[in-house]
């Protein structure tokens, strides 16, 4: 069920603190960096970040009230490179078409068993657009990929959404640095692994040695969903490593949180055909890249 492809032990301090599921869009660096470090440098950095945020709120107060919000940037797209190809636009339309009819109520039912949520509260798998779960299932349904890789298992919600439409002969590998059964709560169950389609792999793809061990899986994967620490270094390193290996001609790479501050430069820097799908995915930004759609400058229109 859990495969460790590397001897690397994940130090306890790198393990994330686990927020309640409905607050999972808090700054990702906080999620991935673990419990508070006692050192002075860490504390002053956090203090400085809080001060910066307070100053920003003072200078640019939010123009409306809402449940959750973050500062971001809107920018022109014609000068960024990576215009989508017609193929990518079609794949997106197909995925959205499927997403609108996807039923994830079986996953929601698992969340409902948690006393954390009030009975009337809409839960993540059902929120669409706004959350990415139905869109992920839509991509699987429309593409019928033989292999899906997810980076960032967390409580298993996206793995369950991907699994919901995964063909019987396909595989879903979900990576994390924390074993799924150590997450509190987790929405995964032992039985999710019993037909062999789902496997968790422990390791950090920004570590060269682990990436090299895992590369054959990435080379044969057709849908890659990246939703890990969003600390810039991880994403940049993984993208650089991915450039060095052969990949499927059909590979789509879906990124979560592309409108979050940390992810803005990562997303902007991708020079392959890509589309921002935020209106059909997660409110904090969902983007998709046609990894081998190699016609830079070819616009869909």
Ligand X SMILES: C[S@@+](CC[C@H](N)C(=O)[O-])C[C@H]1O[C@@H](n2cnc3c(N)ncnc32)[C@H](O)[C@@H]1O
Q: How many CB atoms lie within 10 A of CB 113?
A: 10
Of the residues 141, 192, 204, 290, which one makes contact with ligand X according to CB under 6 A: 204
CB 262 within 8 A of CB 230: yes
Of the residues 128, 139, 211, 234, which one makes contact with ligand X according to CB under 6 A: 234
CB 162 within 8 A of CB 142: no
How far apart are the two ends of the chain, measured CA to CA in Å? Answer: 45
For ligand X, the binding residues in 105-164 under the rule CB under 6 A are 151-155, 157-158
> Which two tokens mark 78?
């014609």
Number of residues that bind ligand X (CB under 6 A): 21
**Residues 182, 152, 191: CA angle, nearest 5 degrees:** 55
Three-class HEC string of 181-219: HHCCCCCCCHHHHCCCCEEEEECCCCCHHHHHHHHHHHH
Cβ-based nearer residue to ligand X, 84 or 287: 287
HSE-up (13 A, CA, CB side) for residue 217: 22
Find out whether the peptide bond into 217 is cis, omega within 30 degrees of 0. no
Closest distance of CB 226 from ligand X, Å: 9
Closest distance of CB 155 from ligand X, Å: 6
For ligand X, the binding residues in 35-64 under the rule CB under 6 A are none
Closest distance of CB 276 from ligand X, Å: 18
**Whole-number Å distance between alpha carbons of 188 and 181:** 8
Q: Is 290 in the site for ligand X (CB under 6 A)?
A: no
Rg (the chain; Cα; Å): 19
Interacting stretch for ligand X, rule CB under 6 A, among 227-235, 246-254, 258-266, 291-299? Answer: 227-235
Closest distance of CB 237 from ligand X, Å: 9
Closest distance of CB 61 from ligand X, Å: 28
Cβ-based nearer residue to ligand X, 263 or 270: 263
Of the residues 111, 139, 176, 281, which one makes contact with ligand X according to CB under 6 A: 176
Closest distance of CB 176 from ligand X, Å: 4
HSE-up (13 A, CA, CB side) for residue 169: 2
Of the residues 198, 218, 221, 228, which one makes contact with ligand X according to CB under 6 A: 228
Of the residues 16, 82, 125, 287, which one makes contact with ligand X according to CB under 6 A: 16
> Which two tokens mark 188?
């995964």
Cβ-based nearer residue to ligand X, 178 or 300: 178
Q: Is 288 exposed, middle or buried (0-12, 13-18, 19+ CB in 10 A)?
A: buried
Closest distance of CB 77 from ligand X, Å: 25
Cβ-based nearer residue to ligand X, 90 or 279: 279
**Whole-number Å distance between alpha carbons of 284 and 287:** 10
> Which two tokens mark 283?
């409110």
Cβ-based nearer residue to ligand X, 137 or 270: 137
Q: Is 178 in the site for ligand X (CB under 6 A)?
A: yes
Tokens 């970040």 belong to which residue? 49
Q: Is 227 in the site for ligand X (CB under 6 A)?
A: yes
Closest distance of CB 171 from ligand X, Å: 17
Chain contacts with ligand X (rule: CB under 6 A): 16, 24, 32, 151-155, 157-158, 175-178, 204-206, 227-229, 234
């Amino acid at each position: 069920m859990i495969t460790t492809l590397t001897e690397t032990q994940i130090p306890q301090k790198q393990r994330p603190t686990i927020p309640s599921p409905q607050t999972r869009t808090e700054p990702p660096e906080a999620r991935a960096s673990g419990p508070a470090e006692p050192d002075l440098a860490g504390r002053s950095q956090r203090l400085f970040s809080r001060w910066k945020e307070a100053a920003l709120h003072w200078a640019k107060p939010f123009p409306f009230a809402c449940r959750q919000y973050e500062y971001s940037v809107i920018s022109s797209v014609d000068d960024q490179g990576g215009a989508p190809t017609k193929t990518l636009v079609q794949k997106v339309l197909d995925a959205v078409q499927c997403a609108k009819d996807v039923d994830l109520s079986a996953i929601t039912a698992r969340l409902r068993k948690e006393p954390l949520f009030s009975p009337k509260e809409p839960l993540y798998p059902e929120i669409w657009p706004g959350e990415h779960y139905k869109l992920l299932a839509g991509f699987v349904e429309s593409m019928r990929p033989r292999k899906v890789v997810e980076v960032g298992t967390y409580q298993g919600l996206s793995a369950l959404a991907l699994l919901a439409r995964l063909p019987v002969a396909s595989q879903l590998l979900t990576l994390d640095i924390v074993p799924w059964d150590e997450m509190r709560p987790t929405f995964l169950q032992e039985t999710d692994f019993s037909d062999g389609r789902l496997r968790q792999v422990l390791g950090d793809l920004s570590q060269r040695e682990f990436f090299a061990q895992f590369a054959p899986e990435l080379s044969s994967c057709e849908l890659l969903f990246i939703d890990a620490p969003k600390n810039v270094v991880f994403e940049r390193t993984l993208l650089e490593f991915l450039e060095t290996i052969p990949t499927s001609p059909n590979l789509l790479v879906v990124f979560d949180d592309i409108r979050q501050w940390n992810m803005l430069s990562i997303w902007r820097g991708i020079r392959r055909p890509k589309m921002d799908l935020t209106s059909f995915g997660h409110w904090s930004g969902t983007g998709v890249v046609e990894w081998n759609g190699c016609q830079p400058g070819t616009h869909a229109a």
